[in-house]
Amino acid sequence: MTTALLESNIPSLKLLSRGKVRDLYAVDEHRLLIVATDRLSAFDVVLPTPIPGKGAVLTEISHFWFKQLADIIPNHLTGDAPESVVQPNERDQVSGRAMVVKRLKPLPVEAIVRGYLVGSGWKEYQSTGSVCGIALPAGLAQAAQLPQPLFTPSTKAEVGAHDENIDFARAEELLGADIAAQVRDASIALYSRAAAYALTRGIIIADTKFEFGLDASGKLYVIDEVLTPDSSRFWPADEYQTGRNPASFDKQFVRDWLENSGWNKQPPAPELPADVAQKTGEKYREAVARLMA
């Protein structure tokens, strides 16, 4: 396993922010450098235990999907090599795990698409028969495929805070009706294309979240990461069955361990046992191997 990068340090560029996983630097007035570290967040809390090589996996998968889905909506990649915008002694921190991207205005909403009834959606359905205010047929089982993919946006919380599910009317208030409709339609199109492809590789994409940004002219771009094990639930198709939460190639493995650990889901998070961290890294790498075979 490679040495983990818990936090990048690139003095030649101005650090703009550190997110749950990514560190963001200014390259110039038109470009940013995004470094995917090996940090892992769960329940909106950054864990103290890094997953070695995770950032490189996320970057590789995002590049793969950006290429696969480029005809649906433009993305924020510039095509510039990350090594070209840092000093020689900083290149080892960006090689294989960073992207040079356009400076865009991020939208204040996370675009979540659900194809299966699981997670917080399943809990809500059990109580109300709906997911994020969208009524569903009665009698659906846990992990059941939904009649059609649902667009269920949420607010974007600060690090350490929890995202809040919102309905489409609230998304329209935050984004404007036109942009909200563009985000919804692009999100469902991206998910549907990716889910169909992944199924040919033995992976079910149960749900995912996208982020979007606008350029100065108001053109919409998909940004950040796309369809990674951090932003999605990946299930092995040959093990899938309704009525239970399936095994996964994503951080659900960590979520399950945390759920059983007694942690109250408030910072600070507990250290992960070495075997849990190792198994998580293996699941991420297996997802890449299957998708890109």
The CATH number of whichever domain residue 99 belongs to comes to 3.30.200.20
User: Does residue 90 fall inside a structural domain?
Assistant: yes
pLDDT of residue 1: 44
Tens of pLDDT along 226-275? 999 889 999 999 999 999 988 888 777 788 899 999 999 999 999 999 99
Mean pLDDT of 188-192: 98
pLDDT of residue 248: 82
Which structural domain range is residue 150 located in?
Answer: 106-251
pLDDT of residue 59: 96
Percentage of the chain surpassing pLDDT 70? 97
Mean pLDDT of 134-139: 96
Tens of pLDDT along 38-83? 999 888 899 999 999 999 999 999 999 999 999 999 999 999 999 9
pLDDT of residue 2: 62
pLDDT of residue 176: 98
For the chain, the helix, strand and coil percentages under 3-state DSSP, each to the nearest 5: 35, 25, 40
Residues 265, 144, 281, 287: what is their CA dihedral angle, to the nearest 10 degrees? -150
User: Does residue 293 fall inside a structural domain?
Assistant: no
How many distinct structural domains can be found in the chain? 2
User: Does residue 161 fall inside a structural domain?
Assistant: yes
| Boundary of a domain, candidates 54, 89, 104 | 104
* Cα–Cα distance measured from residue 178 to residue 185, given in angstroms and rounded to the nearest whole number: 11
Mean pLDDT of 155-162: 67
Answer yes or no: do 122 and 237 share one domain: yes
Answer yes or no: do 70 and 202 share one domain: no
Answer yes or no: do 73 and 145 share one domain: no
Which pLDDT band, with edges at 50, 70 and 90, does 137 fall under?
very high
User: C-alpha angle 157/163/164, rounded to 5°?
Assistant: 125
Across the chain, what does the average pLDDT equal? 93
* Cα–Cα distance measured from residue 19 to residue 281, given in angstroms and rounded to the nearest whole number: 20
* Cα–Cα distance measured from residue 102 to residue 100, given in angstroms and rounded to the nearest whole number: 7
User: Does residue 183 fall inside a structural domain?
Assistant: yes
pLDDT of residue 91: 97
Q: What is the CATH number of the domain that holds 238?
A: 3.30.470.20
User: Does residue 278 fall inside a structural domain?
Assistant: no
Tens of pLDDT along 30-49? 999 999 999 998 888 999 99
At residue 110, does pLDDT exceed 70? yes
